[in-house]
Structure formats: structure tokens, C-alpha cells
Amino acid sequence: MNKPFDRPVYVTRPWLPPLEEFQQGLAEIWGRGILTNNGPVVQKFRAELADYCGTENLCLFTNGTLALQIALQGMGITGDVITTPYTFVATVHSLFWNKVRPVFVDIEPGHYTLDPEQVEAAITPWTSAILGVHVYGHPCRLRELAEIAQRHNLELLYDAAHAFGVRVNGRPIAQYGDLSMFSFHATKLFHSAEGGMLTFADRTLRRRFDYLQNFGFENEVEVVMPGTNAKMNELQALMGRLVLKRVDEIVQKRRRIAEAYRRELMVIPGIRAAAPPEPGVEYNHAYFPVEVCERDFGVSRDHLYDELKQWNVFTRRYFYPLVTDFACYRGIVRQDELPVARRVASRIITLPIFSDLSLDDVERICGIIRHIHERSRPIPARRSAGVRAVAVTA
Ligand code: T4K
């Protein structure tokens, strides 16, 4: 018998280290009195991430949005950038803050990432870069996009906000493209409460990004460029270091949750999960999105989203509305463009996934979804009765 959860189940919960470990780190920070401006904890965190990501070309920031803004600024991206409408709005805001024009192209139906064919078709003499998003942690079509970027002499940037821990053909995803931005926000599987990271191919960018995140200071008396303040602080780095120690374990737990969801949900008509990862991809299970097809499921995605709240299950509709439908970007594309992104945005719902979610709870959530479907499903009419009835199975 399904019944509402006693406590709210959110789309995500941050994994938190044992409090004593954090307190121990805090005591050391207290003792030093150094809270920010490239302190020792940030430096250690940076070194550990360089090891994890297999690159020294890496900078840390106060959050992912500022990291991406600084990336575009530091690489001198101008003109038009081809990107996806199917993302968190910060991707596009970062372009706007750099006075760069977003050119939106459609996504692929399997993993919801940029469709390379559409990218190539949208290139003009004003295009300076491609900004792909590894949405939900699913890698973009890396090889195709790299070939397109090379053919047209474009920079290839990735918003990898969701993709920490993903590996492709044995290499960390941080090593693909000219640059990647990672978010370490509390809602991410790997987090430092708030935080962000850039990894990049051109090692000369590191100095530039370091200037840009610290007001452009070379030393006490010299400012070499108009920078901003986007530094990670010691408390963020402490959290990040403690979570990094356990990140592989966190991914494994999420993998088991995702497997349970797939097992339970694939038998419910009208519920479709994203395509499984491509061969060679070690996925991080950052999110568990499903599409709800109203005709087969029986009720709309929005109905399911609202009704789940009554069962104390708080899903999200990442990424609905499409960025191009927000007031500040409306009018850039026509309503009949981007058909795949529009369809996915109208059907998507992201289910709870976090390492402390038990497999029993996953089963319960799926049971509730099944119940909502069964209750709404028209029973096939019996020949003799000739009447359509609605099953109530509560
Ligand atoms: N690019 C992409 C593709 C992104 O997805 C993001 C961020 C960025 C760029 C920018 O990176 P950052 O500048 O953020 O580093 C959240 C996050 O704020 C945002 O980081 C994230 N993407 C986006 C997809 O989701 P909200 O407004 O949906 O979060 P919120 O506060 O509603 O949290 C969702 C649920 O998580 C809550 O219902 C409860 C739970 N939660 C949340 C927080 C903050 C916790 O349990 N503990 C917490 O501390 O935006």
C-alpha cells in the first residue's frame, strides 16, 4: 500500500562529510586565521583536483557561473557562440555578461546534448565558439564537435557543471575540448557548498584566469587587467576536499539508485528514461531525468509533478522552461524552432537521486508513480459492457 513519505524527499541532498572531520578542518583554519585569497586549503584542494582530473591546467572559483564568465572573458570570446537552449539559465547568462550573442541550436533526443549536425549548419563568419553542455552529466558528442571546431577554427567550450567524475575512453571529461567549467554547488554530486572549476588545454590561460578572479592584481601596486572577485575561500575548499575523498563511492551509490529506477520504471507505460551511456563512457549518475508521455502514461508531466508533492516527493522539471522561453531571451528563436528541445522540456521530470536515498525509497517512489498511472489509466472496454471505466487502485 502506497502512502506519503513522512518527511519530504527532495530532488537532491548534498553528501556531507562526518561533522567531526569538518570541525577538525575548521579548527585548523581558525588557528591560521587565513580565510581566503589563495590560502593553504585552496592550494591543497587544487592539487588534489589536478590529480583527479589529470591536468595541471585548472583554476578554482567561488561558483560555476563566475568561472564560466571569466572563461569567456579570458579567452576573448566575441561575436556569436553556438549553444543549447536545454540547460540551466546560467550558461546563457554567462554569454550575455560578455556581450556575446547566443545562437541556439537543437539537441539530440537520446542524451539531450547539442546535435552536431545542427551546430555545423549554424556556423557563420561571426561564430567564434561552440559552447556545449554535458547536461545531466551525459557527454556531448565529443569527437564530432571537436572535428567541427577544428574544421571551422572555432573554440570548443563545455559547460560541464553536471559532469564531475565522468570519464570517456578512460580519460576524465575535464580533458576534452579547449575548456570545461564544473560547478561545485551543493546540489551537485561533488560539491564544496558553492564553487566552480575551469580546466583547459592552453596552459597560458591559467595566469590570466588567476588575474581575472582576483581584481587583476599582479602584486600590491600593480593591476594588469580589469578583474573581478571570484575566488574560492578556505571553507569551501575544506568541504570540497572532504567530499572529494568519497566521490567515487558517491557515484557508485547513485549508480545503484539509477539501476533500481530503470528496473522499476521501464515497465510503466509512458515513462522513458534517457538513453544509456555510450560505450566508453563512465557516467556519474548526476541526475535521473525521465520523459512523461501523457498519452501513454495517462496524466501530464505537470500533473505528475504536482501530485508527487502530495506524496511528499519534490521532483524538479530541469530544464523547463527552455532558456529561450524566459522573458530575457524570448524572441531570439521562433516558436516552431528547436522542436526536440521543446518536446523534451515539456515532458521532462528529474526524480530524486542522492547517495543517502535508500533503494527502498526508490521502490516507493516508483510505486507511487505506478499508482498514479494505474489510477488514471482507462481500462480497456469489455466487449459486453461497452463502457470505459477508470481504475481506482488506491
Ligand atoms: N551550468 C549548468 C548546466 C548548471 O546546471 C548550473 C547550475 C550552472 C551552470 C551554474 O553553476 P553554479 O553557479 O550554480 O555553480 C540549482 C543550483 O542552484 C544550480 O547550481 C544548478 N545548476 C541548478 C540545476 O540547480 P535550484 O534553484 O533548482 O536549486 P534549489 O535551491 O531549488 O535546490 C534543489 C533542491 O536541492 C532543493 O529542493 C533541496 C535540495 N538542496 C538544495 C540546496 C541548495 C539541499 O538539500 N541542500 C542545499 O543546500 O538551482
Give yes or no for residue 41 having a pLDDT over 60: yes
The reply to whether ligand 1 has any atom less than 6 angstroms from the CB of 246 is: no
Question: How many other β-carbons are positioned within 10 Å of the β-carbon of residue 303?
Answer: 15
Q: Is 199 in the pocket of ligand 1 (CB under 6 A)?
A: no
What is the pLDDT at residue 381? 53
Does 129 have pLDDT greater than 80? yes
Taking 90 as the threshold, does the pLDDT of residue 105 lie above it?
yes
pLDDT band per the 50, 70, 90 thresholds, residue 1? low
pLDDT band at 392 (very low <50, low <70, confident <90, very high): very low
pLDDT for res 378 = 56
| Closest to 350 (Cα-Cα) out of 338, 365, 361, 336 | 365
pLDDT at residue 88 above 50? Answer: yes
pLDDT at 64: 98
The confidence score (pLDDT) of residue 238 equals: 98
**What pLDDT does 331 receive?**
87
38/316 Cα distance (integer angstroms): 36
> In this predicted structure, which of 59-68, 129-138, 288-297, 374-383 has the lowest mean pLDDT?
374-383
Q: In the prediction, which pLDDT does 107 show?
A: 98
- Name the 3-class secondary structure at 386: coil
Q: Which of 52-56, 129-133, 378-382 has the lowest mean pLDDT?
A: 378-382
For every residue of 330-345, DSSP letters joined together read TTSS-TTS-HHHHHHH
15, 88, 213, 323, best to mutate for ligand 1 pocket (most atoms within 8 Å of CB): 88
Overall average pLDDT of the 170-174 stretch: 98
CA atoms within 13 A on the CB side of 84: 27
Residue 126 contacts residue 79 (beta carbons within 8 Å): yes
Q: What is the pLDDT of residues 191-229, one digit of tens each?
A: 999 999 999 999 999 999 999 999 999 999 999 999 999
CA distances from 278 to 109, 139, 229, 305 (A): 14, 9, 39, 29
Ligand 1 pocket residue status of 357, Cβ below 6 Å: no
Three-class DSSP category at 169: coil
Give the type of residue at 106: D
- 3-state secondary structure (DSSP) of residue 122: coil
List the one residue out of 354, 338, 392, 346 whose CA is nearest residue 82. 338
Residue range 14-35: mean pLDDT, rounded: 98
Phi, psi (deg, nearest 5) at residue 163: -105, 15
- Mean pLDDT for 327-352 is 95
pLDDT over 90 for what percent of the chain? 93
What are the backbone angles phi and psi of residue 95, rounded to the nearest 5°? -65, -50
Please indicate whether residue 317, judged by its CB atom, sits closer than 6 Å to ligand 1.
no
* Amino acid in position 251: V
Using the mean position of ligand 1's atoms as its centre, give its distance from the Cα of residue 281 in Å. Answer: 24
Atom 36 (ligand 1) nearest CA? 12
Beta-strand (E) ranges in the chain? Answer: 9-10, 58-61, 80-83, 101-104, 127-133, 155-159, 167-168, 171-172, 179-183, 196-200, 217-219, 222-223, 271-273, 281-282, 288-292, 313-314, 348-351, 378-379, 389-390
Average pLDDT, the chain: 95
Q: Is the pTM of this model over 0.85?
A: yes
